């Protein structure tokens, strides 16, 4: 895929539209195709821009898992915390990757929820989906701490 800047913005906008249309499978396919570096680019862009979906937490009841995956990218810590809660109920590889992103969040409550979920669901197969993201996050303050903690896996 190889996107940066405006392309990430367009991708997030398209993913938001797909999520609103209920096309969780398309959102999953696209987000799973992201490399860990592309995922971190998406996090950086999403936290700088104003995506209405990522602010409208009152509309989330009954919505599919795509909303939780996208909420994990939100700049609002409350949205990311809601995402962490919802991701626990979804056992997909994408949820594992998004929990890895949230495990390095700068908001302690978000980090703690995500890390507890990772520890509870950890298996060799799941570690294979999370480790590349944790490796990509190792240069960030909380990512480095989580990466160090994975040494016991």
Which tens digit of pLDDT belongs to each residue from 54-71?
Answer: 555 555 556 788 989 998
CA-to-CA distance for 66 and 16, rounded, in angstroms?
Answer: 9
Say what the pTM is.
Answer: 0.80
Helix, strand, coil fractions of the chain, as percent rounded to 5: 75, 0, 25
Q: What is the pLDDT of residue 121?
A: 87
Residues 6+ apart with CB under 8 A from 41: 3, 4, 8
Q: Is the pLDDT of residue 140 over 70?
A: no
Mean pLDDT to the nearest integer, 107-114: 93
- The whole-chain average pLDDT of the chain stands at 80
Domain boundaries, the chain: 6-152
Q: DSSP for 29-86?
A: HHHHHS-HHHHHHHHHHHHHS--GGGT-GGG-TT--HHHHHHHTT-S-HHHHHHHHHH
145: confidence class by pLDDT, cuts 50, 70, 90: low
pLDDT above 90 coverage of the chain, percent: 31
pLDDT digits (tens, 9 = 90+) for 1-54: 444 445 667 888 889 889 888 999 999 999 999 999 888 888 888 888 765 555
Exposure string of 70-101, with b = 16+ CB inside 10 Å and e = fewer, is: bbbbbeeeebbbbbbebbbebeeebbbbbbbb
Residue 109 zone, left/alpha/beta (φ > 0; ψ -120 to 50; rest):
alpha
pLDDT above 70 coverage of the chain, percent: 76
CA-to-CA distance for 134 and 145, rounded, in angstroms?
Answer: 10
């Amino acid at each position: 895929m190889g996107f940066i800047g405006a392309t990430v913005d367009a991708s997030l906008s398209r993913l938001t539209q797909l999520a609103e249309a209920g096309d969780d499978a398309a959102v999953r396919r696209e987000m799973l195709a992201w490399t860990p570096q592309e995922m971190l680019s998406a996090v950086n862009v999403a936290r700088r821009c104003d995506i209405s979906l990522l602010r409208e937490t009152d509309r989330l009841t009954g919505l599919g898992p795509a909303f939780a995956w996208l909420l994990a990218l939100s700049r609002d810590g409350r949205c990311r915390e809601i995402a962490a809660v919802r991701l626990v109920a979804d056992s997909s590889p994408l949820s594992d990757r998004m929990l890895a992103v949230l495990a390095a969040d700068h908001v302690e409550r978000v980090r703690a929820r995500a890390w507890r979920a990772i520890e509870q669901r950890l298996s060799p197969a799941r570690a294979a989906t999370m480790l590349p993201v944790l490796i990509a996050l190792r240069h960030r303050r909380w990512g480095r701490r989580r990466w160090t903690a994975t040494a016991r896996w």
